[in-house]
Chains A and B, each alone.
Chain A
Amino acid sequence: MTALQIVFLIAAAFTLLSALLVVTRPNLVHASLWLIASLAGVAVLFVLLEAGFLAAVQVVIYIGAIAILIIFAVMLTRRVMSDSGPQVNRNWWGAALSALLIFGGLLGLFSQVPAVGSAFPAAIANADGLLEDLGRSLVDVNRYVLPFEVASVLLLAAMIGAIVIARPAAREEGEE
């Protein structure tokens, strides 16, 4: 067992455990914190996969923005949902069943992937120019500029949409 493998195993275990705790903790604040932990674990795994930029993006966006947003939401809706009382609904057994089925299904699918047994990833050709390559690919007309622009439009739409939806109800007439 190489060192990388051990690191992987630790990181994987940490991530899975955190994820389990996310979905089982009744206390939402705890759950959100465990979410952060899980996200961090995923970032470590990204590093193991030599996608350093993505690891950084993971931390910044997910942990730094989305997790914070979730914590805000928990705070704003905390008054109603007290931490006592059941946090799972009546169909949790159906959910568990589905989850297991999906897990099994996915495993079955993955087993059919031809490269699934490869232990050694091939060396990356231009490891140092990876980031530059990623940056260029996102704005290259022949490559991924369109998805890039669409994603930005999506973000814009989401932003506007979120503002509109979350606005409080119109206070008085004539207010624009």
Chain B
Amino acid sequence: MTPELLTWLIPLPPILAFAVIVLLTHRSNRLSHTLAVGAMFVSWGLAMTVFWAAITTPELGQRPFASSIDWLPSGVEALRIGILIDPLSAITLFFVAWTCLAIFVYSIGYHNYGKPRDPADRAGLPPHKGGIEPMYARFFAFISLFAFGMLTLVISDNLLLLFIGWEIMGLCSYLLIGFWYGKDSAKKAMVKAFITTRVGDVFMLLGIAYLYSATGTLNYREILFNEEVLHSLAEAPSGVLGMSAAGLIGLLLFLGTVGKSAQWPLHVWLPDAMEGPTPVSAMIHAATMVSAGVYFAVRFFPLLTAGWAEGEPLTVTMRVVAFIGAFTALFAATIALAQRDIKRVLAYSTISQLGYMVAAVGIGAYVAAAFHLVTHAFFKALLFLGSGSVIHGMEHGLAASSTNAAQAMPGQEGPAGVHKAHAHVDAQDMFNMGGLRRKMPRTFVTFVIGGFALAGFPLLTAGFWSKDEILADAFGNGHLAVFLTLAAAALLTAFYTMRQITLTFLGEPRTEAARHAHESTATMTVPLLVLAVFSVAAGWVGIPESWTGGRVPNWFHSFVGGTLLEHPPAAPFHWAPLLTSVGVSLGGLLLGWLVYRRVAAGAPDPARKPLGFVYTVLERKYGFDEFYDWAFVRPAYWFAETFSYLWIDRGVIDGILHAVARTALRLGSIFRNYFDKPVVNGLMGDGTASVVKWAGRQLRAVQTGRVQQYLIAGLIVTGILLSYVLVVRP
């Protein structure tokens, strides 16, 4: 039972669960979720075992757990695939296993297991009144497949296997965003997500191809842990914009991250992806899949930063990465200010935090990026699951209040009963909530912990430690533009987080639904608690040494830093970044509470009037969706509908076919009329017949019925024959 063998086994249970659910148990909800959660639990167990083995191995970066097999024969050497557990993948495995398990368990309660199936519910639409999800088993099948993809990606030791896991997750994201395929908005969102990430994936594939042709391998250790390879790539010119080969490859690969982690300009799919069920949003679009993009960037840090050393100015690639990361962080944070939907705020928040991590990679802060990746996964998953719990509570409140309302005004039930009475009350709109701290205490506490972690509440939350490290690194290395941008984004983050908490939980209920909300089941709240623990404690493993005067070693830094060839140095201590981060965090939280604590029912957003038209711009997300639609989507549709379909397919291709058909028909009729009928029928067929008929008619005349004539004829002929035989011949 070596760690290598266990690592190989980690992705196995979920894919088996997927296959068994799809083929055998999809009719039984209980069997399906048991299988899925059980499989995830087994994977979690294996992952924890491997993780424990990893952290107890000294110098894991130098001697990682690695094992590979021949896979595709290609020329002399076969393409190999295998697993690699070095510090980075170990730590990623840790948070992926925990968050996935928590979300699997949460999904049981979220999809109302245990409640009866509402006959008014149809497969493809979310349940109306809290009945069990009609497509329950399918959900667990999909998330099992997703878990398989993510785990494969994490344990992979080469780019090809990573890409395979990447694409499987892309598929699952598509399937799960459009899980409720009856909703038109979900269908549009699933296509948008897939196509947008595809744009990034195309460039990533180009990068992979370039890398393979330049180095002849896709294995991490052979490329990233290899001085000569990195050096040669950094020196070789690529011919594009004066960048080195490493620079261009890094940029192309980074574009994959831009797509997958929803960075500007490919950020448009993530907010729409909130159409999927909340566990999906939590798992795929907060904790794991989008994190995979950042994991990938962090993994390829040596390639992205090839030719750069600590303290030098940034290379072109790094500058692009840092710019996109910082810009996205600020950009998404501003949009989040003006959103009403509880999940949308979190979506933009995810985009923003991912920008933080990308910016960290861009400025060369390897450990900080990895640190924030880990902590963000925990508290963002917590926040999403918490929002799911809130939405569930609101929907129960809707059902309860509408029953009262229906009792008060009888005869207003339509086929959709409840919804008809007040379809306009959106259970996800924060302005319809309020005062939920009393109705949903556990959700409230865990949500606050998660929110504070997001805002970077000092010392007590994991988010503080990781965010502070990024800011410290930026400041310490002199990247002031990045520092200021990220600091501003942090302020906005704290502000909108407190806005969210205040609107949702504090104050008084603003609608009947909020008044009748109630807490969610244990299967939903226990995962929240588990994640809350991590949201607090995960930061304490990475306390910088400068804080404790060296007494408490920064375990995270030394462990994860060992992944690189050279151990990265810790950022030197400065007061400025520390004060900045504490200040923006507390200040933002306070400001948010002050502004939003007295929002009455039906009142507009208090920020609307002071910000004026800026608020509208933010609410409309800077018009990027509309712009992309006009610039790309509509031309694509035109191309498909008019050019490809109408002109080429129907016009040219069908035209050719029809012309061929017409020619064939014409040829056929020519043959028929000019050859078949006159010659074959007329001449040979009818002609022969008429000749025979004519001959027959003529010959018929011989048979006169008169015996004497027969005799005469016979005698004459016999005479001739005899004379010939007897006279002429002998």
Direct contact of A and B (CB under 8 A): yes
Q: Interface of A with B (CB < 8 Å)?
A: 89, 91, 94-95, 97-98, 101-102, 105, 108-109
**Residues of B in contact with A (beta carbons under 8 Å apart):** 706, 708-709, 712, 715-716, 719, 722-723, 726-727
A89-B708, A94-B712 given; A102·B719 CB < 8 A:
yes
B708 pairs with A102, CB closer than 8 A = no
Nearest-CB residue, chain A, relative to B709: A91
Knowing A89-B708, A91-B708, A91-B709, the reply to whether A98 touches B727 (Cβ < 8 A) is: no
State in angstroms the CA–CA spacing of A105 and B718 once bound together: 11
Please, which residues of chain A bring their CB within 8 A of the CB of B715?
98, 101-102
Whether B719 contacts A101 by the Cβ 8 Å rule is yes
Q: Which residues of B contact A105 (CB under 8 A)?
A: 719, 722-723
* Interface secondary structure of A, over-half rule: helix
| Closest Cβ–Cβ distance, residue A108 to chain B (whole Å) | 7
Q: Is the CB of B712 within 8 A of A101?
A: no
Cβ contact within 8 Å between A98 and B719? yes
Structural contact, A98 and B723, CB atoms closer than 8 A: no
Shortest distance between the CB of A68 and any CB in chain B (Å): 26
**Known pairs A91-B712, A98-B716, A105-B723 / 4 extra A-B pairs, C-beta < 8 Å:** A89-B708, A91-B708, A98-B719, A102-B719
- CB nearest neighbor in A for B727: A108
* Partner of B716 from A89, A101, A109 at Cβ < 8 Å: A101
With both beta carbons as reference points, the residue of chain B lying nearest to A94 in the complex is identified as B712
A89 to B711, CA, bound (A): 13
Contacts of A98 in B (CB 8 A): 712, 715-716, 719
Q: Which residues of A contact B706 (CB under 8 A)?
A: 89
When C-beta atoms are compared, the residue in chain A nearest to B716 turns out to be A98
Cα(A158)–Cα(B615), bound, Å: 138
Complex interface: chain B residues within 8 A of A101 (CB) = 715-716, 719
By beta carbon, the residue of chain B nearest A105 is: B719
- Find the B residue at minimum CB distance from A112: B726
Q: What A residues does B709 contact at CB under 8 A? A: 91, 94
B728 CB to nearest A CB, Å: 12
Question: Are B719 and A95 in touch, CB under 8 angstroms?
Answer: no
Query: Closest approach, in angstroms, between the C-beta of A173 and any C-beta of chain B?
Result: 33
Number of A-B contacts (CB under 8 A): 26
Residues of chain B with a CB closer than 8 A to A102's CB:
715, 719
A98 to B712, CA, bound (A): 7
A97 to B720 Cα, complex, angstroms: 12
Tell me, in angstroms, the Cα distance from A126 to B179 when the chains sit together.
137
**Residue from the list A95, A97, A108, A109 in contact with B708, Cβ < 8 A:** A95
CB pair B716–A97 under 8 Å, yes or no, is yes
17 A-B contacts (beta carbon < 8 Å): A89-B706, A89-B708, A91-B709, A94-B709, A94-B712, A95-B712, A97-B716, A98-B712, A98-B715, A98-B716, A101-B715, A101-B716, A105-B719, A105-B722, A105-B723, A108-B726, A109-B726
Residues on B with beta carbons closer than 8 Å to the beta carbon of A89: 706, 708
Tell me the minimal C-beta distance from B548 to chain A in angstroms: 147
Considering only CB atoms, which chain A residue lies closest to B712 in the complex? A94
In the complex, what distance in Å separates the CA atom of A101 from the CA atom of B727? 14
Q: How far is the CA of A109 from the CA of B726 in the complex (A)?
A: 9
CA gap between A94 and B704 in the complex, in Å: 15
4 closest cross-chain pairs (CB), A and B: A94-B712, A98-B715, A101-B719, A98-B712
Chain B residue at minimal CB-CB distance from A96: B712
| CA gap between A97 and B706 in the complex, in Å | 18
**A168 to chain B: closest CB distance in Å?**
25
Q: Once bound together, how far apart are the Cα atoms of A89 and B722, in whole Å? A: 27
Which residues of the other chain, B, contact A94 by a CB distance below 8 angstroms? Answer: 709, 712, 716
**Shortest CB–CB separation between residue B97 and chain A, in angstroms?**
118
Q: How far is the CA of A95 from the CA of B715 in the complex (A)?
A: 9
Expressed in whole angstroms, the Cα–Cα distance for A37 and B726 within the complex equals: 36
Q: Which residues of B contact A91 (CB under 8 A)?
A: 708-709, 712
**What is the CA–CA distance of A97 and B723 in the complex, to the nearest angstrom?**
15
A91 and B710 CA atoms in complex are apart in Å by: 11
Which of B706, B719, B722 gathers most chain A CB within 10 Å? B719
Residue among B709, B712, B716, B723 facing the most chain A CB atoms (10 A cut-off): B712
Per the bound structure, the CA–CA distance linking A101 and B708 in Å amounts to 16
CA separation between A108 and B726, bound complex, in Å?
10
Distance between A59 CB and nearest chain B CB, rounded to angstroms: 30
> A94 to nearest B CB, angstroms?
4
A89 to B707, CA, bound (A): 12
Cα A95 to Cα B722 with chains together (Å): 18
The residues of A that contact B727 with a CB separation of less than 8 Å are 108
> Whole-angstrom distance from the CB of B268 to the nearest CB of chain A?
113
How far, in Å, is B160 (CB) from chain A's closest CB?
A: 107
Name the distance in Å between B560's Cβ and chain A's nearest Cβ: 130
Roughly how many angstroms separate A98 CA and B706 CA in the complex, as a whole number?
A: 16
B457 to chain A, nearest CB (A): 137
Give the docked Cα–Cα distance between A95 and B709 (Å): 9
Residue of B at shortest CB range from A99? B715
Q: How far is the CB of A97 from chain B (nearest CB, A)?
A: 7
A102 to chain B, nearest CB (A): 7
Per the bound structure, the CA–CA distance linking A97 and B716 in Å amounts to 8
What is the CA–CA distance of A62 and B655 in the complex, to the nearest angstrom? 100
A1 vs B57: C-alpha distance in the bound complex, in angstroms?
162
Closest residue of chain B to A89, judged by CB?
A: B708
Distance (Å) between the CB of B31 and the closest chain A CB? 99
Q: How far is the CA of A40 from the CA of B413 in the complex (A)?
A: 138
**Nearest CB in chain B: distance from A91 CB, A:** 6
Contacts of B722 in A (CB 8 A): 105
A109–B727 Cα gap in the complex (Å)? 10
Q: Which A-chain residue is minimally distant from B715 (CB atoms)?
A: A98
**Least distance between A93 CB and chain B CB atoms (Å):** 10
Q: How far is the CA of A129 from the CA of B708 in the complex (A)?
A: 45
Q: Which residue of B lies closest to A109 (CB)?
A: B726
Q: Give min CB distance, B177 to chain A, whole Å.
A: 106
Q: Nearest Cβ in chain B — how far from A100, in angstroms? A: 10
Distance of B721 from chain A, by nearest CB (Å): 11
Contacts of B719 in A (CB 8 A): 98, 101-102, 105
Instruction: Write the chain A residue with the least CB distance to B711.
Output: A98
A91 to B727, CA, bound (A): 28
Cα A108 to Cα B725 in complex, Å, equals 13
The CA of A78 and the CA of B715, in the complex, are separated in Å by: 31
- Distance in Å from the Cβ of B688 to the closest Cβ of chain A? 33
CB-based nearest B residue for A100:
B719
Residue of B nearest to A101 (CB): B719
How far is B708's CA from A94's CA once the two chains are assembled, in angstroms? Answer: 10
Kindly provide the distance from the CB of B722 to the nearest chain A CB, expressed in whole angstroms. 7
Kindly provide the distance from the CB of A113 to the nearest chain B CB, expressed in whole angstroms: 13
